[in-house]
């Protein structure tokens, strides 16, 4: 069988795919970790050793020839020669490598360590001398060179090395190493001279701090204090750091010199910017808690809080809450000059936007400033100047603050200058008339007993605000308070005649209450009637009826009925419910039992229904259904719900055929019976209409609009029934059925309460 006919049974890809990366990873994992090592050779005679050395040297030389600048090959070569105890050859390799790159620090270090390791100190000294001469800025060479001489027991040579090194003015660690060397040699005087040269070479706080701490460890407190004082005298302001002052203060504290430490803390806090010394503040607070008095501790805490307020003020100068806290702190200290300085800095931050809401907090800075000058500083002239400066800052054309004007006027009154107070308020009313200014002016004159001036101020106020009902009511109340009833009534009459009023209901209420308080019941009743001529609002009817109920409930019932009838004619259902509830409350307040009026109200109470209606948007499209409550009152006229019976009669007529005349009305006879005569093709069957059984013989369908009279078989006439009466009887029957269902749902409702049905 040929292989060409063989075909794959399933060409679909395998469910698990193998990637090339996976194949390589598996191949790597399966490799045997076998390290191929060169066989170990056994050298038995000198000839084999010579051949081995020659071969290795040839390999190293070939590597160097290929990569001359590769320092690793030189170091490996020299290390191999050292292992073969060929010191001259190793030294030759190092010298050859230095010819390639003498700036390489590794070569010098390995070369010198080789000489020291092989115990050739002179050769090592020669290497170190050459290294420090060629690379004097490499501190490691100096460290190792001096340490080698010290280990060899040559302190003089080591000191000479340090002296050569110090001529280059190295970094701080080099001087510290020199000082430690002298201390190991028990030469503190020489170490002190090293420190003196150190601070001269590096005049910064770090050097003085090291020197002072060293003197402190040596118990040389006077010398240590001298070092600190020399540092404060010689260093520049930029070098006088927080650490220097803190270390000096801690030194004095350890020496039990608390007064000196306190002076140092205060001097540092006064000289340095406060935001740069937060740690020093904390140290000072801790020092005062340990060694200070209560007053000192409070002062330190206040200084710390001042620092915090200053930082916030620098970050956000328009943060007036921060200024308030800062000023409260300064006022508590009692330092008037410092408090004034902070106030001046605070009020200098004027809001950049001419909007009143941004000025409200700012104005209170001026108010607190004026109160501070008046109450704490007791300087009347400065207080007056603060008020005047504040009025100059406020943009009165855009807005004003009546509080400032009134406070200035009251300040003048307290200092017995009424003329100045009246002048201030007159200026305020002329520049920026505000209702609050007028009220304050009136209150001032009223407190002084100047009623005529109060009338003038009210007149000016009403010229500026003729539609303000509150001003009219206050003016009338003023006249009433002084016994001028007619003038008060005249003010009210003038007020209600105004064409535009902002809150006329309050004005009418005040007028009615005024007449009621004076015992003018008839006038109050007339006012209610006049008000009803202007508005028929349900609240007016309720207020009128409640007023009448205080005197006589029958009169109140008349008002309630009038209001109810008016609201029913207007079709206002919710307002009628409110009126009925107020009426019922009045009836219940009259007596505990059910009175005649209470039964009347309960008979008028509606039933509450939940309905649905389609909501429409602005474009007229439907937005869904919403539920709402509707009321059905017992005394509302019911309209025909449907005309189904007429439709049934029309269908019956069509079945009887086209030969008969058009039938529209029904005649219902009570005593026809089976033996009675029939006219006009009457069918002698009986049908049920509205739950009652009626003979079709007694139904005469004459016309769709009316039913004519017809003679009975006995010669008499049947009563004439109109279409309206038939429809109403049919609706009553349907209403009874619906009412039965609704009563079944709402049996739990009380009599007179609006019952819910859906």
Structural domain boundaries of the chain? 56-132, 136-202, 644-669+685-709+717-733
Q: How confident is the model at residue 596 (pLDDT cuts 50, 70, 90)?
A: confident
**Closest by CA position to 432, among listed 408, 400, 409:** 400
Per-residue pLDDT, 8: 61
Helical pair 435-447 and 418-431, crossing angle rounded to 10 deg: 160
Question: What is the pLDDT averaged over residues 613-642?
Answer: 77
The more confidently predicted of residues 570 and 95 is: 95
Residue located via tokens 């509080």: 403
Select, from the ranges 144-153, 327-336, 570-579, 611-620, the one with the highest average predicted confidence (pLDDT). Answer: 144-153
Residue range 56-132, CATH number: 1.25.40.10
How far apart are the C-alpha atoms of 80 and 67, rounded to whole Å? 18
Distances (CA, A) of 461 to 215, 280, 284, 469: 85, 62, 62, 12
Per-residue pLDDT, 292: 75
Does pLDDT of 33 surpass 70?
no
**Share of residues in the chain with pLDDT > 90 (%):** 33
Q: How confident is the model at residue 717 (pLDDT cuts 50, 70, 90)?
A: very low
Q: Where are the alpha helices (DSSP H) in 84-220?
A: 87-100, 105-117, 121-134, 139-151, 155-166, 172-184, 188-201, 205-217
The more confidently predicted of residues 306 and 198 is: 198
**Closest by CA position to 277, among listed 252, 234, 310:** 310
pTM over 0.75: no
| Average pLDDT in the chain | 80
Per-residue pLDDT, 745: 37
Write the pLDDT tens digit of every residue in 101-154. Answer: 999 999 999 999 999 999 999 999 999 999 999 999 999 999 999 999 999 999
Cα dihedral 287, 293, 294, 300 sign: negative
Neighbour-count burial for 534-573, b at 16+ CB within 10 Å, e otherwise: eebbbebbbbbbbbbbeeebeebbebbeebbebbbeeebb
Q: How confident is the model at residue 5 (pLDDT cuts 50, 70, 90)?
A: low
**Share of residues in the chain with pLDDT > 70 (%):** 83
Does pLDDT of 691 surpass 70?
no
Domains 56-132 and 136-202 share a fold: yes
Write the pLDDT tens digit of every residue in 228-279. Answer: 999 999 998 888 888 999 999 999 999 999 989 989 988 888 888 777 787 8
Per-residue pLDDT, 741: 38
Residue range 136-202, CATH number: 1.25.40
């Amino acid at each position: 069988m040929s292989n060409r006919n063989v075909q794959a049974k399933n060409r679909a890809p395998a469910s698990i795919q193998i990637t090339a990366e996976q194949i390589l990873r598996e191949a790597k994992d399966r490799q045997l970790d076998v390290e191929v090592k060169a066989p170990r050779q056994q050298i038995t005679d000198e000839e084999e050793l010579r051949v081995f050395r020659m071969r290795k040297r040839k390999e190293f030389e070939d590597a160097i020839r290929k990569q001359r600048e590769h320092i690793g090959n030189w170091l490996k070569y020299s290390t191999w020669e050292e292992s073969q105890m060929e010191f001259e050859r190793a030294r030759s390799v190092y010298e050859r490598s230095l010819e390639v790159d003498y700036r390489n620090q590794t070569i010098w270090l390995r070369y010198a360590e080789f000489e020291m390791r092989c115990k050739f100190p002179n050769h090592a000294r020669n290497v170190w001398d050459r290294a420090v001469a060629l690379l004097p800025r490499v501190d490691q060479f100096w460290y190792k060179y001096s340490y080698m001489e010290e280990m060899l027991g040559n302190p003089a040579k080591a000191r000479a090395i340090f002296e050569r090194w110090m001529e280059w003015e190295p970094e701080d660690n080099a001087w510290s190493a020199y000082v430690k060397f002298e201390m190991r040699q028990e030469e503190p005087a020489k170490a002190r001279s090293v420190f003196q040269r150190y601070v001269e070479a590096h005049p910064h706080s770090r050097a003085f701090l090291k020197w002072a701490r060293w003197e402190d460890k040596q118990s040389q407190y006077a010398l240590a204090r001298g070092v600190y004082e020399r540092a404060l005298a010689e260093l520049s302001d930029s070098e006088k750091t927080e650490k220097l002052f803190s270390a000096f203060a801690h030194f004095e504290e350890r020496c039990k010199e608390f007064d000196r430490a306190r002076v140092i803390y205060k001097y540092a806090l006064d000289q340095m910017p406060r935001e740069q010394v937060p740690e020093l503040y904390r140290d000072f607070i801790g020092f005062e808690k340990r060694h200070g008095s209560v007053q000192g501790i409070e002062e330190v805490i206040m200084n710390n809080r001042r620092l915090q307020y200053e930082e916030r003020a620098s970050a956000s100068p328009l943060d007036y809450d921060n200024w308030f806290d800062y000023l409260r702190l300064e006022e508590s200290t009692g330092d008037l000059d410092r408090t004034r300085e902070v106030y001046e800095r605070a009020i200098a931050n004027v809001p950049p936007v001419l909007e009143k809401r941004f000025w409200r907090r700012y104005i209170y800075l001026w108010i607190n400033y004026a109160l501070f000058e008046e109450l704490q500083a007791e300087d009347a002239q400065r207080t007056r100047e603060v008020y005047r400066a504040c009025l100059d800052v406020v943009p009165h054309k855009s807005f004003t603050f009546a509080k400032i004007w009134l406070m200035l006027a009251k300040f003048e009154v307290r200092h017995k200058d009424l003329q100045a107070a009246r002048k201030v308020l007159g200026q305020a009313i002329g520049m920026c008339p505000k209702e609050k200014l007028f009220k304050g002016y009136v209150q001032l004159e009223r407190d002084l007993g100047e009623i005529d001036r109060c009338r003038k101020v009210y007149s000016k106020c009403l010229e500026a605000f003729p539609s303000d009902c509150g001003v009219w009511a206050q003016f009338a109340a003023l006249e009433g308070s002084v016994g001028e009833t007619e003038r008060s009534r005249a003010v009210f009459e003038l007020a209600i005649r105004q064409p535009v009023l902002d809150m006329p209901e309050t004005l009418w209420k005040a007028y009615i209450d005024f007449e009621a308080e004076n015992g003018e019941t008839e006038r109050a009743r007339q006012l209610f009637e006049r008000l009803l001529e202007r508005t028929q609002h349900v609240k007016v009817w309720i207020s009128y009826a409640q007023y009448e109920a205080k005197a006589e409930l029958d009169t109140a019932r008349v008002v309630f009925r009038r209001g109810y009838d008016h609201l029913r004619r207007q079709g206002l259902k919710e307002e009628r419910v409110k009126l009925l509830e107020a009426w019922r409350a009045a009836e219940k307040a009259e007596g505990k039992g059910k009175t005649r009026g209470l039964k009347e109200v309960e008979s008028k109470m509606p039933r509450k229904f939940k309905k649905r209606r389609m909501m429409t948007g602005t474009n007229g499209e439907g937005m869904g259904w919403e539920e709402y409550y509707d009321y059905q009152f017992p005394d509302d006229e019911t309209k025909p719900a449907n005309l189904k019976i007429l439709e049934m009669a029309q269908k019956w007529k069509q079945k009887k055929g086209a030969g008969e005349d058009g039938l529209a009305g029904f005649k219902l006879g009570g005593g026809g019976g089976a033996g009675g005569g029939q006219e006009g093709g009457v069918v002698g069957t009986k049908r049920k209409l509205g739950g009652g059984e009626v003979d079709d013989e007694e139904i005469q369908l004459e016309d769709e609009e009316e039913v004519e009279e017809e003679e009975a078989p006995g010669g008499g006439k049947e009563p004439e029934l109109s279409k309206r009466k038939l429809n109403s009887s049919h609706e009553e029957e349907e209403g009874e059925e619906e009412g039965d269902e609704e009563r079944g749902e709402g049996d739990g409702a009380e009599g007179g309460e609006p019952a819910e049905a859906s």
